[in-house]
Structure 1
Amino acid sequence: MRLPELEIKNLKVKSENLQGLQILHLSDLHINKKTKVMNIEKLVAFCNSLEYDFLALTGDIIDCKVDKIIPQLKALNSLKKVFYISGNHDLFYGIKGLKELLTNFTFLDNKTTFIKYQNRDIALAGISDRFSKFFKIKREEKKILSFLKSNEDSILLAHQPKDYSLAIASNTKLFLCGHTHGGQVFPFHYFVRLFQPFLAGIFYKKDTCIYVNRGLGTWGIDFRYKANSEITLLKLINN
């Protein structure tokens, strides 16, 4: 991961039930052996200086074997109030080792929890990546759907935009994901759209707000064109 200039992207997201909530959204860090520990430390310091209610990290944290980047991951572990789910790269390079190092984070693959906000319980759930089946990990969609449907104020984290259908089916108020890198290098955007329903940005479907984060790191080539990296602070508003 080559660290870009750290800037915050402030977005206002319409949500009647979750107004005032602030979520810092990171995705697709793709930390590898070339990633400098100093850069991770700068990222952590930058994020921790911001005001937010929780940090959503929507997958692809790593891009090599965990034992090759232990110092980088130990530095990342200093991020505050983090809930994360797996991406396809995390599964390929070792989600077990990743979980063992990120002791300060809450892992949400196929799990549910509640966040207290203004005397309300906000339901938060995560679903494991669609590549889970290749690693003999069951995606517990029925469990997640049931949980989200039974709670009026709900948020779903997933890696791929394709999983927005789970959010729609459960009347989830906010769906956060990544994976696409916003296309990373134009005109690759058009190829990504053949496989994903959304490329990047905010979309509204029924009562659900969908946000696709372009991610912070890169994959394949360490280069972006017309798809800038982003760290997004989402503030939920009433209108």
Structure 2
Amino acid sequence: MKIKEVNYVDIKTFDKNLNGFTILQISDLHINKKTSKMQIKKLVDMCNSLDYNILVITGDIIDCKVKYIKDKLSILNSLKGKTYFISGNHDLVYGLKDLIKQLQNITYLDNSYEKIVYKNETILLAGISDRFSKFFGHIREEKKLLSILEKNKKKIFLAHQPKDYKLALKSNCDLFLCGHTHGGQIWPFHYFVKIFQPFLNGLHYINDCPIYVNKGIGTWGIDYRYKANSEIALLRFTSENTYN
């Protein structure tokens, strides 16, 4: 777990009421037995040094059974402000229920939502469980979420995998955030990832919907990255000087 950079990302918006709203996104921590408490503390300290309105974690927090890393996960409870997370496929494999119990100060948002007030405006933050949920006895409620999203004007949608961007488009979301890809992690593995996912990393726009794919912090399989640096992303809505 080595954080190479903080990516400062401007998100285009026509809605001046969203101007300045800032989200810190971290993803794919893959905390396991080899992850040190110092590494996690450095991550938390870095996050807490930044200015943001909310923090979101888009899945794959763990990469082993929770019982082996309880002391490490407890450090995440020191993240400042309102923090939310959704499940990733590795969280499902290693025990989502145990993870939820351990993250006492972080709101679990699978198939759920929370209303956030910013400049007297309400922003709906919604999340969906990972696409592999059905294989682990967890419900994935697409219709329920779409119904809720469609009834609200300002909305941000969280999912673990980029494939779920279509749900954000259907409900005209102001932003879709995801992770999962690790940005390919090791080149030229990037090309393999592109076979299964519509986006590899970074910021994309489809039908005026901003889509951000976070490269994540941890690693999977081989503890190494090449041409896919780890990141945390600070995303700020702006309606100023973005449309020429």
What is the TM-score when the length of structure 2 is the normalising length? 0.95
Distance 2:154 2:10 in 1: 18
Answer yes or no: is 1:13 the counterpart of 2:42.
no
Alpha-carbon deviations, 1:107-151, whole Å to 9, x = none? 000001101111111011000000001012111101110111111
CA distance, structure 2, for counterparts of residue 206 and residue 27 of structure 1:
25
What is the one-letter code of the residue matched to 1:8? Answer: V
Quote the offset at 1:196 in angstroms: 0.3
Letter in 1 for 2:89: N
Supply the distance in 2 between the matched residues of 1:147 and 1:218 (Cα, whole angstroms). 34
Q: For residues 158-179 of structure 1, give each alpha carbon's deviation from its aligned partner in whole angstroms, at most 9, with x where no partner exists.
A: 0000000000000011000000
C-alpha distance in 2 between matches for 1:4 and 1:119: 35
Superposed counterparts of 1:1-239, under 5 Å: 2-5=1-4, 7-17=5-15, 18-80=18-80, 81-238=82-239, 239=242
Where does structure 1 differ by over 3 angstroms across 4 or more consecutive aligned residues? none
Report the Cα distance in structure 1 between the residues aligned to 2:124 and 2:219, rounded to whole angstroms: 31
Q: Distance in 2 between matches of 1:37 and 1:3?
A: 13
User: What displacement does 1:103 show?
Assistant: 0.5
By how many angstroms is 1:207 displaced? 2.7
Q: How far apart in 2 are the matches of 1:84 and 1:159?
A: 10
Number of positions where the alignment pairs a residue of Structure 1 with one of Structure 2: 237
Q: Cα distance, 1:3 vs. partner?
A: 2.6
- 1:130 partner SS: coil
Distance in 2, Cα, partners of 1:202 & 1:3: 22
Alpha-carbon RMSD: 0.9
Which has the higher mean CA deviation after the structures are superposed, 42-51 or 212-221?
Answer: 42-51
Q: Which amino acid aligns with 1:184?
A: Q
Q: Identity across aligned pairs (percent)? A: 61
* Distance in 2 of aligned mates of 1:205 and 1:40: 35
Partners of 1:148 and 1:16 lie apart in 2 by 19
Q: Distance in 2 between matches of 1:212 and 1:55?
A: 15
**1:16 Cα shift?**
2.0
Measure the CA separation in 1 of the matches of 2:67 and 2:232.
26
Kindly provide the amino acid, as one letter, of the partner of residue 63 in structure 2: D
Q: Secondary structure at the match of 1:167?
A: helix
The unaligned stretches of length 5 or more in structure 2 are: none
Contact 1:27 1:59 (C-alpha < 8 Å) held by counterparts: yes
CA–CA separation in structure 1 for the residues paired with 2:43 and 2:138: 31
Indicate if the aligned counterparts of 1:175 and 1:211 stay in contact, CA closer than 8 A: yes
Whether the 8 Å contact between 2:2 and 2:230 is mirrored in structure 1 is no
How far apart in 1 are the matches of 2:2 and 2:196?
Answer: 27
